[in-house]
Amino acid sequence: MRTIHFILTTLILGFLSSCGTSETEQSLSSKLEALRQQKREITQQISETEQKLAVISNGDEQQTREPVVLQEVKRVTFKHFFEASGSVEAVNEAFISPEVNGQIMEIYVQEGDRVRKGQLLARLNTEVTEKNIAELQTSLSLATEIYERQERLWKQQIGSELQYLEARNSKKSIENRLETIQAQLAMSLIYAPIDGIVEKVNQKKGELAVPGMQLIQLVDLSELYVRADISESFLPSIKSGDTVSLTFPSYPDYEKTLKINRVSNVINKNNRTFEVELRLDNKEEMLKPNMIAIIRVNDFTAENSLVIPSKIIKEDLNGRYIYVAAKEGNERVARKRYVITGRTFGSNTRVIKGLEAGDQIITDGFSRVTDGSLLKTS
């Protein structure tokens, strides 16, 4: 070995001296790196040759065979997916607040109750409103009687037209005021706008309810949205109607295949994403709003592909390689095979060049073998 290293060193020095001073530093550096690579390859070949000589000198019965597991390469359909996290939202959800100010007189529901659309949920204090309605109804009764008398007199051409018009206008004015007060009374009664479950009651009986302040939250779990933000780089791979896979970290065994309901038409300039929306039935009410959802999208498919486990791929200065089992005489021998790889998904990688269907690749024990190692298969 010392003699070999001496020869290699002498060759390198002789080569450098023969180049002359006219060569540039960059050129010399490139040649030096090439010679170093040759040295590494020769050293590896020497080591492998020494191992083979040692095996031969010990006799065939002493040859070491590495135990390995082989797998035949077959052509399959390779699919690549990317994942995006999203959030669950209810299609029908209501945050209910009163339309008028008023003290809460009654709340007819509790958290967790199921309600139907139009069901009375709460009532505000309507005492003043009801008194106003009673007064207006009395006034309307009198105004109606006066109007009817003036109308009869006017038809008999008794009295002036002005008296008739004033009576009619007074009656109409009171009717309008009565309608307004009755509308205010209706606003004091709070009804459910949707079917659903009472999720939250934020105020109590006796407190003051104010428009815009949430009193009751209703949610309908039967239909849900899943919305996810996806990088704009995937925009060419997604369109409405595409089929995707939907899973939830909270339910590892739950998986559903759905079609994309909507793809946003606007890119968010802050994070360069666009929104994708799915819609799903949730009759069993297993899923809840604000849960984390995972959308898996198939963005690449290649039929008749050669696919191998990613773990067996190694890399050196010459590129990526694997070990295959070659039949040489009566022995199976490990051979180094350089490959060009494509996309990777999960634990598998697609091989573009370097393998053929039917090749036997080493999937277990590959870290113990070198080029030329004898193999023992189970």
Q: 159: domain CATH number?
A: 1.10.287
Does 271 reside within a domain?
A: no
pLDDT attached to residue 2: 47
Rounded CA separation 214/97 (Å): 5
Same domain, yes or no, for 23 and 74? no
Q: How far apart are CA 349 and CA 78, in angstroms?
A: 9
pLDDT score for 46? 75
* Top-confidence residue, 97 or 48: 97
Digit-coded pLDDT (tens) for 73-124: 999 999 999 999 999 999 999 999 998 888 899 999 999 999 999 999 999 8
**Domain harbouring 356, CATH code:** 2.40.420.20
| Residues 46, 8 share a domain | yes
Per-residue burial over 3-36, b if 16 or more Cβ lie within 10 Å, else e, is: eeeeebeeebeeeeeeeeeeeeeeeeeeeeeeee
Higher pLDDT, 230 or 143: 230
Domain check: are 75 and 21 in the same one? no
Same domain? For 37 and 8 the reply is yes
16 lies in some domain: yes
Rounded CA-CA distance 182/101 in Å is 15
The answer as to whether 97 is a domain residue is no
Show which of 152, 187, 222 is a domain's final residue. Answer: 187
Query: What pLDDT is attached to residue 9?
Result: 54
Domain co-membership, 48 together with 74:
no
Q: Is 211 exposed, middle or buried (0-12, 13-18, 19+ CB in 10 A)?
A: exposed
pLDDT of residue 138: 84
Q: How far apart are CA 331 and CA 181, in angstroms?
A: 101
Quote the DSSP letter at residue 268.
Answer: B
Whether 112 is in a domain gets the answer no
Domain boundary among the residues 168, 187, 206 is at: 187
Residue given tokens 């598998």 in the structure block: 348
Report strand pairing: 216-231 vs 196-201: antiparallel
Is the residue at 133 inside a domain?
yes
User: What token pair was written down for 69?
Assistant: 């597991």
Are 363 and 307 contained in the same domain? yes
Is 215 inside a domain boundary?
A: no
| 75 and 42 share one domain | no
320 located within any domain: yes
Domains contained in the chain, number: 3
Q: Does some domain include residue 308?
A: yes
Range of the domain at 13: 2-53
Residues ≥6 apart with Cβ < 8 Å to 42: 4, 8
Q: Which of 79, 83, 75 is nearest to 343 (CA)?
A: 79
**Considering the chain, what is the average pLDDT of its residues?**
85
Given phi > 0 = left and psi -120 to 50 = alpha, else beta, which region is 215?
A: alpha
Each residue's pLDDT tens digit, 115-165: 999 999 999 887 777 777 888 888 888 888 887 887 887 777 777 778 878
Closest by CA to 89, choosing from 365, 327, 279, 356, is: 279
**Co-location of 19 and 69 in the same domain:** no
